[in-house]
Amino acid sequence: MDFFVTTSIPYVNSHPHLGHALEFVQADALVRWLRLCGHRVRFQTGTDDNAGKNVAAAKALGLPVRELVDANAARFAGLCAGLDIAYDTFVRTSAPAHHRGVERFWRALRAGDLGQHAYAGLYCLGCEDFLQPADLVQGVCPDHGTAPTPIAEQNWFFALSRHGADIAALLEAGRIRVQPAKRLTEVLNFLADLRDISVSRDQRRSDGWGIPVPGDPEQIVYVWIDALVNYLTGLGYGGPDDDGWREWWRPEVHRIHVIGKNVWKFHLAYWPGLLLSAGFPQPDEVIIHGFVTVDGRKISKTLGNGLDPSETIAKFGAEALRWALLREPAFDDFNLGEAVIVRRHHADLSGGFGNLERRLTTLCARHGIAGCTGTPPPAPDGYHAAWEARAHDRAAAILIGAVATLNQDIDRHQPWKAPVGDPGVAVSLREWRDRLQGIAWWLQPFLPETGAEIVRRLSAPVLSAGTPVIPRLPSQAA
């Protein structure tokens, strides 16, 4: 089967934070697992350059908006490189090709679904969304800690309420699979009271930055409508190859959006409604992760809390950060600090996979055991089922359990006591070697370089103990 996997695209009003690293890594690990299973996968990420908060940030810094978004978009691309994110496409919504695609999509919406009228509401710039009074906690946005701004203006509206029953039917039938399933009730409750949505903003609010509404240059396309269309424009929609995008956005391709829990409304209500109106196929699956928190509070650029992911990579290494993020709950909030990264690295990585590789290759070298040939053994029991449930934390735990079991088998047989050339020990060592190769093979979605290096070492003509494949962290990092 073919898969199209996307992340949401972050605003570039500031530097990336650990929450962005989480989503990049979760999606990347899923993609790498699918590719190891033999599937053809296209993986897309990028940046949302057109948000009003980008304009506000540029003003605060005294910079042209273009200069700010280019600099911060480069930082997000740099974070992807630092985390070894194997994307195929990195979308920039300020690119002319994306603008053309959004204009085309706007015109594809059913004419009766668009209309213009006055609107007044409470707007949170951090969320880039109108909030209802019931959404606020003591008068402020619960995510950003700021009071929304009262706004009244003439906007274009999309008749989302017309599509509510159809969207709910798609979700209830599992046509759009929601992961975790516990989110489905929350989504269906929201759809039960679905309202029409404002899909434009007065261009004066963003100093003209963004994509003008086709035929109405005084209005800018609402950033979330603009941003959602990136899933099509990144495939070439609106570009010179008019039908090329259909290779990946068609019913035969399994389309997956990986998103945070604060944006499911846009992906499970707005986006399906827009696609129904335009006559496009729906996504097949939406995976909703929780937040990385500090003292129980979401990490955000606005609050400026949490570890800087680029600094964390420089200090501990990309794979230590990848592993720490992927060992935590796949769908729930969790706290992550340096102590957790160090503990996971020493317990699971250097003391787990790394120690087992060195221990086993040392024994194999003593007995003259040759390297593996042929395809790697199957994954440990339950590993693929965990990935099918999108529970990367469970898949990681299964690999750690396989390491512990293999170590126990070695301890029980005590091969170091046997004389060189003992045929029974040789048989056991080959079995253990093959099992470790299987563990390393399926470790690659989590640790691409380390997993591949262990596989390479175990495939050598004659096995030998080299330098530690996963050294302990330097004392200053720990």
Q: Would you write out the chain's pLDDT as a tens digit for each of its 478 residues?
A: 999 999 999 999 999 999 999 999 999 999 999 999 999 999 999 999 999 999 999 999 999 999 999 999 999 999 999 999 999 999 999 999 999 999 999 999 999 999 998 877 777 766 777 777 767 776 777 776 778 777 777 889 999 999 999 999 999 999 999 999 999 999 999 999 999 999 999 998 888 999 999 999 999 999 999 999 999 999 999 987 767 899 999 999 999 999 999 999 999 999 999 999 999 999 999 999 999 987 666 666 555 556 899 999 999 999 999 999 999 999 999 999 999 999 999 999 999 999 999 999 999 999 999 999 888 789 999 999 999 999 999 999 999 999 999 999 999 999 999 999 899 999 999 999 999 999 999 999 999 999 999 999 999 998 998 899 999 988 656 5
Flag whether 463 is in a domain: no
Instruction: Please state, in angstroms and rounded to a whole number, the distance separating the CA atoms of residues 221 and 98.
Output: 12
Domain shared by 21 and 129, yes or no? yes
- 117 CB contacts (<8 Å, ≥6 apart)? 154, 155, 157
Domain shared by 148 and 289, yes or no? yes
End residue of a domain, out of 276, 298, 320: 298
Instruction: Please state, in angstroms and rounded to a whole number, the distance separating the CA atoms of residues 302 and 146.
Output: 10
Q: Dihedrals φ, ψ of 76, to 5°?
A: -65, -40
- CATH code at position 20: 3.40.50.620
Residue of 301, 315, 345, 392 marked active site: 301
Q: Which range of residues forms the domain containing residue 140?
A: 2-298
Is residue 99 annotated as part of the catalytic site, yes or no?
no
- CATH code at position 421: 1.10.730.10
Residue of 289, 298, 315, 367 marked active site: 298
Instruction: Please state, in angstroms and rounded to a whole number, the distance separating the CA atoms of residues 160 and 196.
Output: 5
Is residue 98 annotated as part of the catalytic site, yes or no?
no
Run of H or E residues at 56: helix 52-61
Is residue 20 annotated as part of the catalytic site, yes or no?
yes
Domain shared by 232 and 93, yes or no? yes
Is residue 298 annotated as part of the catalytic site, yes or no?
yes
pTM above threshold 0.75: yes
The 10 Å Cβ neighbour count of residue 353 is 25
Residue with tokens 């992906």: 267
Residue of 53, 80, 98, 124 marked active site: 124
Is residue 141 annotated as part of the catalytic site, yes or no?
yes
Instruction: Please state, in angstroms and rounded to a whole number, the distance separating the CA atoms of residues 375 and 441.
Output: 10
Flag whether 305 is in a domain: no
Flag whether 320 is in a domain: no
Domain shared by 285 and 389, yes or no? no
Residue of 53, 144, 257, 392 marked active site: 144
Residue of 98, 99, 141, 257 marked active site: 141
Is residue 39 annotated as part of the catalytic site, yes or no?
no
Residue of 127, 267, 289, 392 marked active site: 127
Domain shared by 255 and 344, yes or no? no
Domain shared by 282 and 347, yes or no? no
